A = this chain, B = another copy of it.
Amino acid sequence: MLRLSKLFVRTLRDDPSDAEVPSHRLLVRAGYIRRAAPGGYTWLPLGWRVLRKVEDIVRQEMDAMGAQEVHFPALLPRDVYEATGRWTEYGDNLFRLKDRKGADFLLGPTHEEMFTLLVKDMYSSYKDLPVSLYQIQTKYRDEARPRAGLLRGREFLMKDSYSFDIDDDALAVSYAQHRDAYERIFARLQLPYVIVKAMSGAMGGSMSEEFLAPIEVGEDTFVRCSACDYSANTEAVTTSSPAADSNTYDASSTIATPNCPTIATLVDLLNANHPRTDRSWEAHDTLKNVVLRLRQPDGSTETLVIGVPGDREVDMKRIEAQLSPAEVEPLDEEGFAQHRTLIRGYIGPQVLGTTSTSGIRYLVDPSVVHGSAWVTGANTKDTHVIHLVHGRDFTADGTIEAVEVAAGDPCPNCSAPLEIARGIEIGHVFQLGRKYADKLGLTVLDHNGKQVVVTMGSYGIGVSRAVASIAEVFHDDIGLKWPRAIAPADVHVVVTGKNGDDITIAGEKIAVELEAQGLDVLIDDRNGVSPGVKFKDAELIGIPTILVVGKSLAEGNVELRDRHTGTNEAIPVADAVTRVVALARSGQ
């Protein structure tokens, strides 16, 4: 039995000053976690119970699908990650250190390499496959901006698993099994989710989907089609490429555009001084050229210009996802100073491209189709050019999905309008393919006695992040409201009496009986704490069933409170144990 008189917990009336999101605020206030380091949290007894319940559900479902649990060190030698290039590619996100002999180590951010080598070490034949292995282990990432408590930490608990198959068809089966297991896990955690198409990022590989919990404080943005089943992380949205424009346009011409600091003022000037005959000029007729600096993990940099229609915003996260592992930032003053060709506010593609005199790589959003005409900078101050046609007057080095996806944009699948929302990434399933097996030499003998490279999948669930995500979904202004499967106890018995009085004796008796029925019982047996404070703490801590043993005992009643529905019900004290046990066993 957990006794609040002894339990190592202190509830706080005030929000911690560094808490940005409800889960962080409430988990700290209710005494589940405490900040211990930047991006590092200590689990207090209540929080640890919740984390372990989540971990157990994950473990049970992984075991049930036939995956086998192993456990790797977190402190890993450099050479393995060097072999796949990730020692460098991970950039600043990797914690690196040296041992006393000066040898290089890292703290594992994920364990693709280690799993690949382990299977290579142990297995050698197609008969050994398929095999799926997993671990539930502490991971380390040197996040630039740890934030939102457990949602983005530098040390966190993760379930990572890896499948090993002889061919692509078998990988598809392993992938589907993991995906199904994840659906069962999140259902048991009562964590709502959307499965969206995802970018593969630095991992390489092909098919990749994320499980996103649709929560406003999430860092990911995703789209869902209102008509078909399309859904994707905005990073992974590939817009349908419109057909090439076959119109014939006037020859391009340079025009004077003084005092046009914005696209709106440029459009006004065009309509005033150079009116179109068919319609007025609009922002979407202009071509905006954004100058970026790419920084590769090895430290090398490159200037890159991306062209997008002037009416659209640029989405740095989408761009970065496609250019990963490079980091992307707007070119700074110093950078511009090194490129005399680039006249800020008047940049046009006439001088861009790897084959141009500037040699600067130039990419365009797919909406800048071949044959389309644009108003854009003339690379001279106070001057633009009109009727500049893609393919006739300028070329690009390629395309990149660059504009911010907006609600109402056409679905790439069926063209119906897209909906847009934010979410927290709670799971990721991923057909890695042969990248790691190739680099680390994981082959097996196939049916014909020939060495073939094994194909892999990788699958992750953020276990500590799941706790925070559940808290984001299940809370209100006054506290947490845990789903029963992961609540730190089945019932919170609030005893409002004083040491030795009838109320206390009755409360203790009920608590003992509930425990004898196999329930996890938290009892508020603190002496000298007012009923009001006890009620507030019960609401804050958020165990789904609260049983109040108090003044109404005089009439033979206790009070059954449901933290989810907010209902209070007076029930005869004789029924208390039966009712609470029934609730706990109902799983609701």
Contacts and interface: CB of A to CB of B under 8 A. Distances in A.
Interface of A: 6-10, 34, 36-38, 40-45, 48, 51, 66, 68-77, 92-93, 95-97, 99-100, 103, 105, 107, 114, 118, 121-123, 131, 133, 138, 140, 142, 144, 154-155
B114 A42 contact: yes
A118 B70 CA distance: 32
Contact of A73 (B41, B51, B70, B105): B41
Nearest to A103: B38
A72 B100 CA distance: 25
A77 B41 contact: no
Given A70-B45, A107-B75, A144 B96 contact: no
A245 to B, nearest CB: 46
11 contacts: A34-B122, A36-B73, A37-B76, A37-B105, A38-B99, A42-B70, A43-B70, A48-B71, A51-B71, A74-B138, A75-B107
A69 B97 contact: no
A165 B97 CA distance: 38
Given A34-B121, A121-B34, A133-B8, A97 B100 contact: no
Contacts of A105: 37, 95
Closest 4 pairs between A and B when the two form their complex, measured CB to CB: A40-B73, A97-B97, A43-B71, A92-B100
Indicate the member of A36, A66, A103, A114 with the most B CB atoms within 10 Å.
Answer: A36
Contacts of A100: 92-93, 142, 144
A122 B34 CA distance: 10
A42 B44 CA distance: 28
Q: How many copies does the complex hold?
A: 2
Nearest to A2: B68
Given A34-B118, A142-B99, A131 B8 contact: yes
A138 B123 CA distance: 28
A173 to B, nearest CB: 15
Nearest to A96: B97
Contacts of A76: 36-37, 40
A155 B68 contact: no
Nearest to A99: B142
Given A73-B42, A155-B75, A97 B99 contact: no
B42 A118 contact: yes
A76 B36 CA distance: 8
A154 B100 CA distance: 11
A103 B38 CA distance: 10
A3 to B, nearest CB: 10
A6 B122 CA distance: 13
Given A70-B42, A122-B8, A122-B10, A75 B37 contact: yes
B155 A74 contact: yes
A43 B72 CA distance: 6
